[in-house]
C-alpha cells in the first residue's frame, strides 16, 4: 500500500518553475509589452542573415506544432516508450503531454499577450508562453526520465533550446515567451513523474535518473519509495 506524497516530492518541480513565475510576473507588470531582454534578443536574431536560417527555423518549428508536432511525433514517441519500457510508461508519457498542453493553454488565455509585430499575426493574443517550446521541453524530459537513459540528457536540453531559437528567429515569439515555456514544460514533466511514482510506480525505471519522491509509510515516518519496475 503506497503512502501519501511528501510535499518535498514537489521541491524540484517547484524550483524548475521559478523562471516561469518570474517572467509571468514581469510580463503582467508591463501589461504584455516586450521586456528589455525581449527587444534586445529580437534585435540580435533580426540581424542574422545566414543562408537557410529561416528555412531551418521553419522546419524545426513544424516539428513542434500542428498535426506533426502536436499529435504524430508525440504518438510515435509514446509508442517508442511502450516498446522500450511498458504500456504504463507510455500512458504516463501521454499524460505528461496533456498536462503540459492544458497548463500552457490556460496561461495563454489568462495572460493574453499579443504576438510580436514581426509575427504577422495581428489580433493574436496567445504569445505567452510558447506552446511549441513547452511541448518540446515536456516530451524531451519525459523521454529521458521514463526510459532512464543517461546519454539522452542532452536531448532534454538541446531540443527545447533549438525550438526556442526557431520561434524567436521566425519572430513569432518573444524570448521571454520561450524561456517561460521551457520552464513550464519541464515542470509539467517532473510533476507527472512525481505523480507516477505515487500512483503508477511500475511505469518508472528501476533505477531512476533522479531521487524517488519521499512518501509516508503507515507509521507516519518518511521513506523513499523503491518500487521495482519490469519493462
Q: Which three cell numbers stand for residue 229?
A: 519496475
Instruction: Out of 5-9, 39-43, 166-170, 221-225, pick the least confident.
Output: 221-225
- Provide the pLDDT confidence category of residue 159 given band limits of 50, 70 and 90: very high
CA atoms within 13 A on the CB side of 190: 22
Q: How many CA atoms lie within 13 A of 167 on its CB side?
A: 32
- Kindly report, residue by residue over 36-83, the tens digit of the pLDDT: 999 999 999 988 878 889 999 999 999 988 888 889 999 999 999 999
17-30 per-position pLDDT tens digit: 999 999 999 999 99
- How many C-alpha atoms does 62 have within 13 Å on its Cβ side? 6
- The pLDDT of residue 230 is above 50: no
Identify which of 36, 23, 57 has the alpha carbon closest to the alpha carbon of residue 128: 23
Amino acid at each position: 500500500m503506497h503512502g501519501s506524497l511528501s510535499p518535498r516530492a514537489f521541491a524540484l518541480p517547484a524550483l524548475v518553475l521559478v523562471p516561469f513565475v518570474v517572467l509571468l510576473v514581469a510580463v503582467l507588470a508591463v501589461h504584455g509589452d516586450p521586456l528589455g531582454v525581449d527587444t534586445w534578443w529580437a534585435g540580435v536574431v533580426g540581424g542574422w542573415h545566414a543562408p537557410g536560417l529561416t528555412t531551418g527555423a521553419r522546419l524545426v518549428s513544424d516539428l513542434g506544432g500542428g498535426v506533426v508536432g502536436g499529435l504524430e511525433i508525440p504518438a510515435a514517441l509514446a509508442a517508442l516508450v511502450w516498446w522500450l519500457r511498458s504500456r504504463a510508461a507510455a500512458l504516463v508519457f501521454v499524460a505528461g503531454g496533456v498536462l503540459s498542453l492544458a497548463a500552457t493553454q490556460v496561461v495563454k488565455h489568462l495572460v493574453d499577450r499579443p504576438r510580436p509585430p514581426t509575427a504577422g499575426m495581428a489580433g493574436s493574443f496567445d504569445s505567452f508562453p510558447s506552446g511549441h517550446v513547452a511541448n518540446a521541453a515536456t516530451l524531451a524530459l519525459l523521454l529521458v526520465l521514463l526510459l532512464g537513459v543517461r546519454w539522452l540528457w542532452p536531448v532534454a536540453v538541446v531540443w527545447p533550446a533549438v525550438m526556442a531559437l526557431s520561434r524567436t528567429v521566425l519572430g513569432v515569439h518573444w524570448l521571454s515567451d520561450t524561456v517561460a515555456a521551457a520552464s513550464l514544460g519541464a515542470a509539467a514533466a517532473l510533476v507527472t513523474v512525481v505523480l507516477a511514482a505515487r500512483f503508477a510506480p511500475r511505469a518508472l525505471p528501476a533505477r531512476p535518473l533522479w531521487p524517488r519522491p519521499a512518501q509516508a509509510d503507515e507509521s507516519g515516518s518518511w521513506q523513499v519509495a523503491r518500487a521495482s519496475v519490469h519493462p
